[in-house]
Structure 1
Amino acid sequence: MGHLITVATCSLNQWALDFVGNLERILESIRIAKEHGARLRVGPELEITGYGCFDHFLEGDTYLHSWEVMTKILTSDDARDILLDIGMPVAHKNVKYNCRVILYNGKILLIRPKLYLANNDNYREMRYFVPWPARLVEEYYLPRMIKNITGQTTVPIGDAVISTYDTCIGVELCEELFTPNRSSLTLRVPHISMSLDGIEIISNSSGSHHELRKLYRRVDLIKEATLKNGGIYLYANQQGCDGDRLYYDGCALIALNGRIIAQGSQFSLKDVEVVTATIDIEDVRSHRCTISRGMQASQTAAYKRFQADMALSQPEIDKKTNIRPTEAIQEFYHTPEQEIALGPACWLWDYLRRSKASGYFLPLSGGIDSCSTAIIVYSMCKLVTDAAQDGDEKVIKDARRIVGESEDSDYVPCDPREFCKRLFHTCYMGTVNSSKETRDRAKRLADVIGSYHIDLDMDDIVNSVCRLFTFITKRTPTFRLHGGTNVENLALQNIQARLRMVVAYLFAQLMPWVRNRPGGLLVLGSANADECLRGYFTKYDCSSADINPIGAISKIDLRQFITYAKNEYQIDVLDEFLNATPTAELEPITGDYVQADEADMGMTYEELSIFGRLRKIEKCGPFSMFSKLVHRWGDILRPTEVATKVKRFFIYYSINRHKMTTLTPAYHAESYSPDDNRFDLRPFLYNSTWDWQFERIDTLVKELEENT
């Protein structure tokens, strides 16, 4: 017989500083793990506080309350007879660390601080924490509240591992999986050095956010780590909106010797999801005998081990023929279109239920951007009704509160259109410059998804503001088509857009009152990543909202998403949105002229997507962007034409960069998101002539043209 071990990892929908709720979810995950026979439970990174506390990690209260929560776990009957790996911040000698606390039966066995901190893109861990030196182990003096429970004065803190009677367990924390240094001399990557030292089970507790097409990398790294070294790998992750722009996408995993044997959901409305597997530890040992590791293993410095007086395997389990090791599975990935349908929808649900709002309000223009936002809300309603029909009591309780039903009501969401009607309000805000086509498209879409739709005209409001200006200045601005200047033309467009924002917030505050319901609505924005990057929107127009589910998604991806949604949700009217020319409809329509977004911008959405990726992901300035594109587009454009496009992009990018400082908080979905507040840290006041850079481009263009 082998040695069968049942282990558990989980995804928890934790919320920054929600100590009560976070504790409840931790204890529930422990109960579920024990019900499945697990003797080891691993939770996500910083699960006691929530990952996204940001500068709250600099406050002493955060550490005090974390230890207070730990007292509840240590004294809980649920936490008995199972080895627990819990995440929380710990201050040691007045230095703050991101830690795992390993405990068993009311005793703390080890505090393991994070060795390598995430400090790029969305992550600023080195602002709050300090990395722990590899292999260093010290004594940590416990707070009195913990000493009174455990009877311990000090516990070890450092880069060490836990031994049980039958195996050895090590910790790798999120970023440490991604560290590139894999030198056999330094062995700085924990899972490599631990595996060579005979550690057979490695946990990884993460706070990893969703980004389109990102999951492949995470899964491949875990498979590669266990294929090359052998071993069991338990990956836990946060799931849900932690209180900011990120959505942590769960997908807890268990891997064995390079194969995935258990996988949790990536997008779910569940607050607690536990993934378990039963493993024969002998499979690890036999695999390690078949790979080239013996020479390095024999020369690897040993980790300091601390004993847990327990065995993960249970002899009575080994003797039961109906219990067998978990078989390998084929890991599952969503398509990018499904990711757009599910990720922002789950984020919107978390935001709605935690903000205590009564629903969402969306200015629905009849274009593909606001259409995409509306479909994501509909997807949210479908997820809610599906979960309610599956009996998820937490979702049902939240749904009743949001739509104004009493706690003792028997209302259960069963139809996404009916649920959508209760909480989602859409509004077409037309002017004399709006077309019948966009008005009709907006109404038909609202009818299909079931939103509470309002159709109104704003000409009286716009004309009143313009008359006020004329009364004060004795000047009357006119559109360019009527002989006005570019300045007049732009001002007359912008006043329409900005007044839509004012009207949106008025209706968002009062529509629940009109419908005899409590609370207010959150206003949704619908400016896509490409338009934000180019600055092709009016500052403080109806793109200024409470949150924006598509603010970091490209126009190209949105079009593919709408194509997918048409078939997935059987909404035929979406064809009309796909075939329509993108237009702001802020200028007069004539027989010879209809305003078009790409013509206004002077570049296509496909070009914008390329510019965005080169600027943010490949870190290109004007000269290096031109140098790349002159080769990429060399078959279709002359160097002078490429230079013109690059210059146009950087001019408009720089003169509109100030708009990013007021950008509506958006769901982070794309690695070239222009979000100024968290992700894209660049100046907002530029010398928009780019004299030096453009001169270097011109010099290179001249050389290339002469050689062509």
Structure 2
Amino acid sequence: MKHGFVKTAAATPDIRVADTAYNQEKICECILEAEKLRAKILVFPELCVTGYTCGDLFTQDVLLRNARQALLHIAEFTKEKDMLVFVGLPLCVEGKLYNVAAALNRGEILGFTTKTFLPNYGEFYEMRQFTPGPRTARMIEFEGAQIPFGPQLLFPCRNMEELVVSAEICEDVWSPVPPSIQAALEGATVIVNCSASDETIGKDVYRRELIRGQSARLIAGYVYANAGEGESTTDLVFGGHNIIAENGAVLEEAQRYENDIICSEIDVRRLSGERRKNTTFGGTEERTLFRVPFCLDVEDTELTRKFPRQPFVPQDDGVRAKRCEEILMIQAMGLKKRLAHTHAKTAVVGISGGLDSTLALLVAARAFDLLERDKKEILAVTMPCFGTTDRTYNNACRMAVKLGATLREVPIGEAVNVHFRDIGHDPADHSVTYENSQARERTQVLMDLANRDGGLVIGTGDMSELALGWATYNGDHMSMYGVNASVPKTLVRHLVKYAADTARDEELKMVLYDVLDTPVSPELLPPREGNIAQKTEDLVGPYELHDFFLYYMVRFGYEPGKIYRLARQTFAGKYERAVIRKWLETFCRRFFSQQFKRSCLPDGPKVGTVALSPRGDWRMPSDAWASGWLEDLEKE
């Protein structure tokens, strides 16, 4: 449970209809299996103690009495188990029969959550036997004990503040206003569902989207346990379709038609953080629901869920291609509007033959197509200087021509040397002054060309560079519209590859592929034997690591120690722990110290959930200290 991860499980036991003795043993076997998996929350299907398909046998005293005894046996079995268990059974209270989910913890029955919505249509006829649950919870006597009974019971964990669990039963989540909504508004971060949903054609897709969507709507974890093989097949078949979801993402899903147990970790700290940021979620200060505390041992949860190495990039090829097309359109539409609004006669793009300027030029070309303007009005400017290699220079020139832009070459070496003389800098001193003077000279050239021709300078810098401050202040840091400002470096690469894959011109395709193969470099230091001497990732670290750090720090507010833990697991076998730690420390230091550059960024379109615009997603003081974050990393 360290870092907020809670291991949850959904189990479909083998059962026999109406054989409670057999069923209790199979349920206990699943509890043992879940214990071996170190699950802290375990959910069983609806009415699994008896079987959902008992029909009018639910009116028989023998079945109801045996179900009570089976529940007592199962509760006693959990006495030495460190978990919260939800199990479904029929329960007679004051002469009425209810469909309930019993919550068990360390040998105690904590409460009975009642089913609110009873389906009585199609293949379902629950109102023949059961009574809808009461509107509010109350205490009932059960085997000599006073136990909470009713809808939307909340089970807060005493020793983990963010963990609050609530249950609903099958049809409840299919209703227009599921009980889990009020539970979430009053603090529930994990919703469990004891269900018996039969299989019909296409229902699994709908069910999956329903659970996934409810977890997103509630910003919650959702553990759904479904009835499976063992139920009566007189009229229905149940597939054991278990699902664990978190805030719109399915973490784990069972193979249908196989009684099994699935397990995954829900990050309740992440969910709490998301709710704090989401002002429309709100929650409610009024406490109307019955709260029943429970305890779990807090321990280091072994993670089985996977975290993508490139969280900004979809792993599925088809989804990635669709995402790339959408991002390019967002970028182009933003630029189109700005060009039209300012009546710009041209778009001025500084091209280096690198990834970022390539993407900016591709976006400019698309924007001009949308405006139905001649792409010759795009001014693509190459400005070779001390670090320019033949490879990047030739690629820049060929790409500009193939895209139909007007190519302009402005060598800046002489101007930079004059500047060195003016400020008294020795050209042999390849310090930051040597590098930044070139970057600022290039920006001056672009700005002045735009002034002369009535155009806009299109920024090329990406979000990863902005996060690290890997940009020359008032150099490549500045533009009149930054089309790449919210695109991380790992995604820039895929956008250019998508453009290459879909290009109709073979020569353009080959140029773009070569750009993709070129090492990332600002090319501000003289080449070595004609090759790039300055490789960015050797200096600031691998961008795939930095984008991983950026995503989890800004998107979810994860502390560095937690990010380090996830990165160790995700990049195991590729980077040593010491390497990950070194670059994470670098990221934290630079992210804080370089905020002043992000505080005065030019306009640019937001394309994803993470952005660093000072006018939108990220407002941070330039004088903040990173000490607390670095100390957190030290604790790992």
Give the TM-score of the pair, scaled to structure 1: 0.43
Give the TM-score of the pair, scaled to structure 2: 0.48
